Amino acid sequence: MRRLIVLLFAGSFLAGLSACGAKPETDHLKGELRMSMQGSNDDPAIVKRREAYRKYLGEVTGRPVKLYEASDYNGVIQALASGQVDVATLAGGGYANVDAQVGGKVTPILTTRRSDGGTGYYSALIVKADSPFRSIADLKGHSLGYVDFNSTSGYLYPRAKMRATGIDPDTYFAKEAFAGGHTQAVMALANGQFDATFVQVSGGDPAHGFTTGAVYTMARRGLVDIKDFRTIWVVGPVPDTAIVVRTDRPQSQIDIIRGAMAALAYDQPDLWTDIGQPAGSEYTAIGRQHYAEVIALRNEDIAQRRTGSKDVGVPK
């Protein structure tokens, strides 16, 4: 049944190629399938998702899947750009980086679509609950933490939205620093290394609040108390993370990967929710245009930084 479901999904893409006059490759692929995912081994949810994807792709393709683990965004980006891996999961900001390096040699093929049709998450500016900060206006002259230069919700998107409201982030704050990841950003804030930080949140909306994201995962693990933090600003939605592939691989391989991952929510619904995907969600087909705004925002941010803005460091 599993292979039938996957073949049906993959077949729909192959049929589309035939309708366009293209000849799909149907010869059986052999050899190792190489995949990369970013995330800390300290986060059990990330570890579980990586292993689930590796095992699932291996089962449905009949090929061994080698997982290249990366502790930061740049590890996945460079693995894709250099052709060391065939497929990866990558957020919009990271894909924009790869796109700038190799263009059409890498493309997004799938992203998560929730039951309400949404395909994004949010960026939340959080502070310690016992701080005096109640709005972004209160943070003028104070310190701000970002997740990573390649993070969409933890850097790129909120910086663009600050500029849109008349705030130049490079002059508005006394200090800016990169934490290196969402979990690290929350811990740095908790330890007083800066006064506020941006993190990804989902499982809700600005009007009703959120239930998932780094700070909520850490709270469930007992690493922090959710009551110790306050959200003072939210921007988004931000285009969700994508499954991306190297386009210089055989088309049949790309179609099988796309079919396998698209079938996952239906083939193994319990596994789908167990790895942290929202109930009722699924993978939906996308292309480069899905991240057109993110690509443009990255280019604008780089241009702004080249005009003489101060460097962003790491927390002390």
Q: Over the stretch 102-134, which tens digit does the pLDDT of each residue have?
A: 999 999 999 999 888 888 999 999 999 999 999
Model pLDDT, residue 13: 42
Model pLDDT, residue 14: 41
**Backbone angles phi and psi of 121, in degrees to 5:** -135, -170
Superfamily of domain 121-239: Periplasmic binding protein-like II (3.40.190.10)
Taking residues 30-52, report their average pLDDT: 76
pLDDT at residue 48 above 70?
Answer: yes
pLDDT at residue 172 above 70?
Answer: yes
Model pLDDT, residue 17: 37
Calpha distance 107→287 (Å, rounded): 7
Q: Which residue bears the tokens 């497929």? A: 87
Model pLDDT, residue 310: 54
- Give 199-231 pLDDT, tens digit per residue: 999 888 899 999 888 899 899 889 999 999 999
Q: Residue 191 corresponds to which amino acid?
A: N
Q: How confident is the model at residue 312 (pLDDT cuts 50, 70, 90)?
A: low
Taking residues 295-301, report their average pLDDT: 93
Model pLDDT, residue 270: 87
Instruction: Please give the structure tokens belonging to residue 211.
Output: 């239930």
Instruction: Please give the structure tokens belonging to residue 100.
Output: 């700038």
Model pLDDT, residue 44: 67
Decide if 13 contacts 46 (C-beta within 8 A). Answer: no
Calculate what percentage of the chain has a pLDDT beyond 90.
60
Model pLDDT, residue 23: 38
pLDDT at residue 2 above 80?
Answer: no
- Structurally, at CATH architecture level, domain 2-117+240-293 sits in 3-Layer(aba) Sandwich (3.40)
Model pLDDT, residue 15: 44
Decide if 94 contacts 240 (C-beta within 8 A). Answer: no
pTM of the model: 0.83
Taking residues 80-104, report their average pLDDT: 94
Residues of the chain with CATH 3.40.190.10: 2-117+240-293, 121-239
Calpha distance 89→226 (Å, rounded): 28
Q: Which residue bears the tokens 């998107």? A: 157
Model pLDDT, residue 147: 94
Calpha distance 98→224 (Å, rounded): 34
Calpha distance 235→160 (Å, rounded): 10
